[in-house]
């Protein structure tokens, strides 16, 4: 566990929204992303599970993962924006997520007597490691391998959603949108004035 504060204190990529770093369509799509706040595809019960999963996959130093993380996964399902392939062992993404969340909660009830979002942090962590290692045992998984679901859907979709958020770009010191203005200084330890300043120990 790392107790240091943010690497890029005071950096907010959204401060560049009205500068030449953001073109019109970029403003439109990011503005829209930040308005997402609730489920349109998932049921309320599934949403509780998904939000708890986000808190485990992209845990925050304080508080919950931004609601837009779960909401962007939901949005991907609502519009059925696919990746371009799926393994033969998984159904299409909507069905995989529905069945996956149901099976996770079933697995939790069998092992700990409650749904995923009701478990302690330690229980949630153990449960996820079990999925990752392919040791899920609930019959609720049917013919869908929990290990493949964990890797291809659960972790993949949540991380891809989180790192599509300005919140995550601030943590990383990523420059964010850069059109039409890109960058001038490309060399080691050089930065333009519109890039994040790193806090050195």
Partner 1 sequence: MTEDDPTRVPRAKNGRAPDVLRVGGWVPMRCFADDEQVDFVIVGTGAGGGTLSCKLSEYGFSVVALDVGPYWRPLEDFASDEHEQYKLYWTDERISGGEDALELGRNNSGQSVGGSMVHFAMVSLRFRPEWFKSRSLLGYGVDWPVDWREMWGYYREVEENLCLAGPIKYPWGPPRPRYPYRPHELNAAAKVLARGCEKLGIKWCSTPIATLSAPRGLAHPCVYRGFCIAGCSTNAKQSAINTWLPRALKAGAEIRDLAMVGRVELDANGRVRGVHYHREGQWRFQRARNVVVAGYAIETPRLLLNSACPQAPDGLANSSGLVGKYLMAHCNQGVYGVFDDEIRWYKAPPSLSLTEHWNYTDEGKDFDGGYAYMSQGPLPVEWSGTQTGNHKLWGESLLRDMERYNHYAGLKIVGECQAMETNTVRLADEKDRFGLPIANVTFAHSDNDKKLIAHAKNFMRTALEAAGGYDIWAEETETAHLMGTCRMGDDPRSSVVNPDGRTWDVPNLWICDGSLFPTSGGVNPSLTIQAMACRIADRIKALAARAEV
Answer whether the bond into residue 157 is a cis peptide, omega within 30°: no
192 and 199 Cβ atoms separated by less than 8 Å? no
Complex with partner 1: residue 80 or 110, whichever CB lies closer? 80
How many amino acids of this chain bind partner 1 (CB under 8 A)?
62
d(CA 98, CA 46): 8
One character per residue 116-155, x = contact with partner 1 (rule: CB under 8 A):
---------x--x----------------------x---x
Q: How far is the CB of 135 from partner 1 (least distance, A)?
A: 16
Residue 2, Cβ neighbours under 10 Å: how many?
5
Q: Is 24 in the site for partner 1 (CB under 8 A)?
A: yes
Stretch touching partner 1 by CB under 8 A, among 43-51, 99-107, 139-147, 189-197: 189-197
Q: Is 172 in the site for partner 1 (CB under 8 A)?
A: yes
Complex with partner 1: residue 23 or 120, whichever CB lies closer? 23
13 and 171 Cβ atoms separated by less than 8 Å? no
103 and 136 Cβ atoms separated by less than 8 Å? yes
Stretch touching partner 1 by CB under 8 A, among 97-105, 107-115, 136-144, 170-178: 170-178
Q: Of 190, 186, 156, 135, give the one whose Cα is nearest residue 58.
A: 156
Q: Of 177, 157, 158, 156, give the one whose Cα is nearest residue 166.
A: 177
Q: Is 177 in the site for partner 1 (CB under 8 A)?
A: yes
d(CA 155, CA 58): 9
One character per residue 30-69, x = contact with partner 1 (rule: CB under 8 A):
x--x----------------------xxxx----------
> What tokens were used for 15?
């401060």
Cα–Cα distances in Å, from 49 out to 100, 106, 131, 169, 184? Answer: 10, 12, 15, 25, 44
Q: How far is the CB of 124 from partner 1 (least distance, A)?
A: 10
Q: Which residues bind partner 1 (CB under 8 A)?
A: 1-2, 7, 21-26, 28-30, 33, 56-59, 72, 81-88, 92, 125, 128, 151, 155-156, 159-160, 162-164, 168-169, 171-184, 186-191, 195-196, 198
């Amino acid at each position: 566990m790392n107790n240091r504060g943010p690497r890029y204190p005071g950096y907010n990529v959204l401060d560049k929204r009205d500068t030449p770093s953001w073109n019109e369509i970029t403003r439109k799509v990011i503005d829209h992303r930040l308005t997402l706040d609730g489920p349109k595809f998932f049921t309320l019960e599934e949403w509780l599970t998904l939000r708890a999963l986000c808190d485990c996959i992209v845990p925050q130093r304080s508080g919950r993962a931004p609601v837009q993380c779960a909401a962007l996964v939901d949005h991907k399902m609502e519009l059925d924006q696919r990746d371009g392939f799926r393994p033969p062992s998984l159904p299409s993404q909507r069905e995989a997520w529905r069945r996956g969340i149901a099976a996770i909660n079933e697995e939790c009830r069998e092992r700990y007597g409650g749904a995923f979002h009701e478990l302690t942090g330690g229980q949630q962590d153990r449960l996820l490691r079990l999925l990752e290692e392919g040791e899920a045992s609930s019959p609720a998984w049917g013919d869908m391998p929990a290990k493949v679901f964990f890797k291809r859907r659960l972790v993949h979709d949540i991380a891809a959603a989180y790192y599509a958020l300005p919140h995550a770009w601030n943590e990383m010191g990523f420059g964010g949108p850069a059109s039409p203005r890109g960058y001038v200084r490309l060399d080691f330890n050089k930065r333009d004035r519109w890039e994040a300043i790193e806090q050195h120990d």
